[in-house]
Structure 1
């Protein structure tokens, strides 16, 4: 019953924290989409880049989230933002890259070659084929990567406000 009373007494504060949490995740994943989808397109076009780009993104994802937040603090302390939203958004952005880049790469790389040939056959440029044929066909898989990034990072962002700084729940925004 104490939990119910706490929620009822603090609903406005809890709503504010929830909206802040969702905003930070949306910001980080939005930035990852802006960078990750073009990066996925680039590594499909230039195959030699796929291994290093996906390798680096995979290595970043293997770093435990609390350790990555810990690495962000001294880095962002150099610009006066050691603790707060900027290091958290950066960490979640880095975590979001792998599913988005990998799914974009996989979706575009696995399209039937006949689609590209048909586009070439009717005189489409690379950019026209990409816009009108390849991306629309790849969207379900790309959105799967975005969904994975969002779900994964809702949990990762929650660590930002936890006990990891020794002040349970009182972390600065």
Structure 2
């Protein structure tokens, strides 16, 4: 008879930044992001907001398909090319992949645990990661009934300045 060891925490040993995030800066460095044309003003404004000491989490607003995500890809490209101010030069933009985070979350609280692990991994990078949340308006209530939603989990981190987020 074989004694099978089952890990009580299936998330243990997994890098949440890689599993639940897409590193846009890395994609830009590899040439996998197309050049962004005609969005310089928006990119510059996002850089200005990110450079503030406080209230430095920009949210891009616009109709679907108007290029909000493209602006962030343009920012990632500029970071990869070192064409940004010193305070943003070595940052990584990681797009939070909510569908990967929700997929397979079976037991109550598993989604929240994954999100907290992701946030903890971001915090360990000591301010070098900017989290991009696409469709940020969808995060209120995400996570299921009777559970904390994403907004309530990230709100204290934003207030403390331990998490830098760009929403679209």
Query: Does the alignment reach a TM-score above 0.5?
Result: no
TM-score, normalization by structure 1? 0.25
Question: Which has the larger share of strand?
Answer: 2
- TM-score in terms of structure 2 length: 0.26
Q: Which has the larger radius of gyration?
A: 1
Higher helix residue share:
1
